[in-house]
Amino acid sequence: MIVCLLRLVVRTSGFHPDNSSSILLGDDEKRCSPWVSIFFALFIEVGMDEGNEIPKNELAFSQIDRDAAAEFISAGGALDKLSEQFEERPVQIELLKSITDAFNQKLLGVYEAGTGVGKSYAYLIPSVLWAVTNKQRVIISTGTINLQQQLCEKDIPAVEKIIGKKIKFTLMKGRQNYICKRRLMETSSVLDLFEDETEEIKKIADWEETTPTGSKSEMPFMPSENAWTKVNSESDACMGKRCPFFNECYVMKVRKEAATSNLIVVNHHLLFADIESRMTGAGYEDASVLPPYRHIIFDEAHGIENAATSFFSESVNRFKINKLVYQMYRKRKGSEYGQLCSIAVFSKNEEKLQEAAELTNKIRTCLLNVEIAAKDLLLHDYTKRLYEASAREFGPFLVSVGALAESLGEFTGLARLIMEGVSDSDKDMPAFWEAKIILGRLENYVILLKNFPKWDEKRQNVYWIQKKRLPPDMIKQENDPEYVILTETPLDISTLMNNGVFEEMDSVICTSATLRTGRDFRYWCGRTGVSYAEPSRVLCKAFDSPFPYHTNMLFAVPNDAPLPDRPEFQQWIEMAIPRLITAAQGRTLILFTSYESLKSAHQTTICMLKGFSGLIMKQGDDDNSRLLEKFKNDKASVLFATDSFWQGVDIPGESLSQVIIVKLPFTVPNDPVFVARSEAIEKRGGNSFMELSVPEAVIKFRQGIGRLIRRSDDKGVVTVLDRRLYEKRYGINFITSLPDCKKSYDSLDDTCDKIKQFIFN
């Protein structure tokens, strides 16, 4: 117990200077107050056992025999004996050997492995061998749920068979993805209070009776956010060992399993939550969000920078604050409601509640002032960044933000005082736990709001505001159809990644089909912090796809397209796209960089292709996964898409025979974080266009192209309507990133003929 308490002291002493700590756990909530951290640190001790044992003497680690590991996937090896379709892939064997070396020599391995290399076996086999031999845990972090499922349902069980050993692995999600039995019971007992969600909560309760996992992703229906957030697991509201449901708790079960697992599969977001808690006090030796580990595999590593940027960003708007304050305290027609009122009667500071009404009114006025000042500042713009040149303009807005931070801070202080006045024996009441969740979130918002006026001292972050339109159902209730979001985003995540991940881990493997720009890894290594590591510790290698691109892929650019900055460009693409679709008989995915352009082109195509046999769909018509299902099932169908469809879409076979890329995917120049990052490059004498804009666009461009060939017998065309590829000097960076394939640079007429010939001959 003393050791345990000492650990608590250590863990809770290194919190953020602003007095918040970051434990984690959900995909939405990232930080919570220190007292909750203390509690959390107590309950994470659960489940620790010999599975966490890490040999103290480094010499105790046994090296993995790279040739013996490679045997498993070589001709005559275990995989050959198990699979009738086995074909030896020399690139896969080379990749596996190199990853084994990275484990043995404690390296940072950066591997670009093209589609079809078979990278999951190439990293899973050394990971399992290392984990089993050395009793060390390996974390596998991915960017998408699809890949996590593929690993847990298909690849890891297959590797168990290949190696002939049972291993323990766990798929861990953020705790907010699991139901909390205690909150569900308490919410169900006061259903009358939640008129809007009553039916949904009943449905959730019925489902909970039969679910073995308690995981939201396994629900046969999608609950609304309002209903789910009333019953999901939250670190701030978790009673840990004192909870009556502790032994049956879904979150605890997963944690216990993870504590004795060799492999843990997570998403990048959850891993960053763990890293953050370790960097801010939890250290690397004990359990935090995840059990301790010394080895990480980042799959889909091209997304690390975006995932980390998103995780370490913090945003707030008036709805978020209003909702939380309202849940905590509200006064209507002389009566008082909210969690704080339920708590106050048990508090020795009950009389403080009298101040709540005035404070909540003050917060509402301050929120209004912030909104007015922000809209005055934005005028016709949608985003604006706070920096030297705009600081004077931001003056009145910052004053209003400072006032909001102060009034909200007074309110959280009051809530804390009332809660601290409750004796320990009364703290188990539901209202107390719910209030802790709310208080934790409000305190985070106070920190964010206080940071805005101090932007000048916090140059490691970008501070910016954004105007957004309300969803149609909310516009009716509000006078103003627009609202404002305040965001703090890290300018650069490379130092953080280097300090928190690369320096701390024994080995880190980063792999993806697209890490290089042109022929080198410098851009990706620089953005993610790998470049800070000792060069002798870094191993960068590329393993080309074994698929026959030279015979199966045509890369076509119509040479009579106007340049994209010409006013006639949109009209031209709206004429060209229907012709290209007809040439390929549908089967086309069209990737846009602008939703406005997408909508207009989709409308025109529907008009021009009247009588076309396939579906002509656009992103936004339906849920993305259902759109993809329809696209796969209807061979002639066409899908107009943007953003998320540039990557991760896997449609093997004839349903996808053409990918049209409308414009090179440069980030829009008014993205405030992108502009701030560009300026930082210029300040140190670099060329932001060549060092940031082009390489970032090349990686996205390669992701888009990668949608086409998913199997060795896939065949098709990538048609790019952006002539800058051949007309501008920087175009060479895109061209040299292409796989070795057939190329065409002809008129639209000839391009259409070539497409027909190529696909159907």
Binding site for ligand SF4 (CB under 6 A): 180-182, 233, 238-240, 243, 245-246, 249, 251-252
The span from the CA of 573 to the CA of 757, in Å, is 22
How, if at all, do strands 383-386 and 461-469 pair?
antiparallel
Closer of 240 and 731 to ligand SF4 (Cβ): 240
Residue whose structure tokens are 């006061």: 190
296: helix, strand or coil: strand
Nearest Cα to Cα of residue 319 among 546, 482, 102, 108:
482
Closer of 43 and 523 to ligand SF4 (Cβ): 43
Q: What is the DSSP string of 54-81?
A: --SSGGGPPPP-HHHHHHTTSTTSHHHH
Structure tokens belonging to residue 498: 């280097």
The span from the CA of 104 to the CA of 674, in Å, is 38
The distance of closest approach from Cβ of residue 219 to ligand SF4 in the complex, given in angstroms and rounded to an integer, is 17
The span from the CA of 339 to the CA of 411, in Å, is 14
Residue 4 CB neighbours (<10 A): 10
SS3 labels along 484-543: EEEEEEECCCHHHHHHHHHCCCCEEEEEECCCCECCECHHHHHHHCHHHCCHHHEEEEEE
| Packing angle, helices 34-43 and 2-13, rounded to 10 | 140
Q: Are 695 and 520 in contact (CB under 8 A)?
A: no
Closer of 437 and 741 to ligand SF4 (Cβ): 437
Handedness of CA 468, 474, 476, 478 (dihedral sign): negative
The distance of closest approach from Cβ of residue 249 to ligand SF4 in the complex, given in angstroms and rounded to an integer, is 3
Residue type, 760: F
Closer of 236 and 305 to ligand SF4 (Cβ): 236
Closer of 108 and 227 to ligand SF4 (Cβ): 227
Closer of 162 and 249 to ligand SF4 (Cβ): 249
Q: What is the DSSP string of 219-234?
A: -SS---HHHHHHHB--
Closer of 180 and 759 to ligand SF4 (Cβ): 180
The span from the CA of 707 to the CA of 656, in Å, is 8
The distance of closest approach from Cβ of residue 706 to ligand SF4 in the complex, given in angstroms and rounded to an integer, is 40
Closer of 127 and 233 to ligand SF4 (Cβ): 233
Closer of 233 and 400 to ligand SF4 (Cβ): 233
- What does the chain come to in residues? 761
Nearest Cα to Cα of residue 436 among 3, 78, 711, 38:
38
The distance of closest approach from Cβ of residue 188 to ligand SF4 in the complex, given in angstroms and rounded to an integer, is 13
* Bridge partners of residue 264, in order along the sequence: 139, 170
Nearest Cα to Cα of residue 672 among 384, 241, 286, 251:
384
Element (H, E) at 587: none
The distance of closest approach from Cβ of residue 252 to ligand SF4 in the complex, given in angstroms and rounded to an integer, is 6
Residue type, 381: D
The distance of closest approach from Cβ of residue 575 to ligand SF4 in the complex, given in angstroms and rounded to an integer, is 57
HSE-CB for 495 with a 13 A CA cutoff: 5
Closer of 246 and 595 to ligand SF4 (Cβ): 246
| DSSP at 463 | E
The distance of closest approach from Cβ of residue 185 to ligand SF4 in the complex, given in angstroms and rounded to an integer, is 9
The span from the CA of 16 to the CA of 590, in Å, is 45
Nearest Cα to Cα of residue 464 among 370, 363, 374, 368:
374
The span from the CA of 7 to the CA of 12, in Å, is 8
The distance of closest approach from Cβ of residue 283 to ligand SF4 in the complex, given in angstroms and rounded to an integer, is 24
The distance of closest approach from Cβ of residue 175 to ligand SF4 in the complex, given in angstroms and rounded to an integer, is 7
Closer of 213 and 365 to ligand SF4 (Cβ): 213
The span from the CA of 221 to the CA of 672, in Å, is 37
The distance of closest approach from Cβ of residue 244 to ligand SF4 in the complex, given in angstroms and rounded to an integer, is 8
408 Cα distance to chain centroid? 29
The distance of closest approach from Cβ of residue 245 to ligand SF4 in the complex, given in angstroms and rounded to an integer, is 4
For residue 247, report the phi and psi dihedrals to the nearest 5 degrees: -70, -25
Closer of 270 and 377 to ligand SF4 (Cβ): 270
Q: Are 377 and 466 in contact (CB under 8 A)?
A: no
HSE-CB for 727 with a 13 A CA cutoff: 13
The distance of closest approach from Cβ of residue 145 to ligand SF4 in the complex, given in angstroms and rounded to an integer, is 22
The distance of closest approach from Cβ of residue 84 to ligand SF4 in the complex, given in angstroms and rounded to an integer, is 46
Closer of 42 and 690 to ligand SF4 (Cβ): 42
Structure tokens belonging to residue 582: 């007809």
Closer of 156 and 180 to ligand SF4 (Cβ): 180
Closer of 239 and 328 to ligand SF4 (Cβ): 239
The distance of closest approach from Cβ of residue 184 to ligand SF4 in the complex, given in angstroms and rounded to an integer, is 8
The span from the CA of 263 to the CA of 123, in Å, is 12
The distance of closest approach from Cβ of residue 278 to ligand SF4 in the complex, given in angstroms and rounded to an integer, is 22
Closer of 246 and 312 to ligand SF4 (Cβ): 246
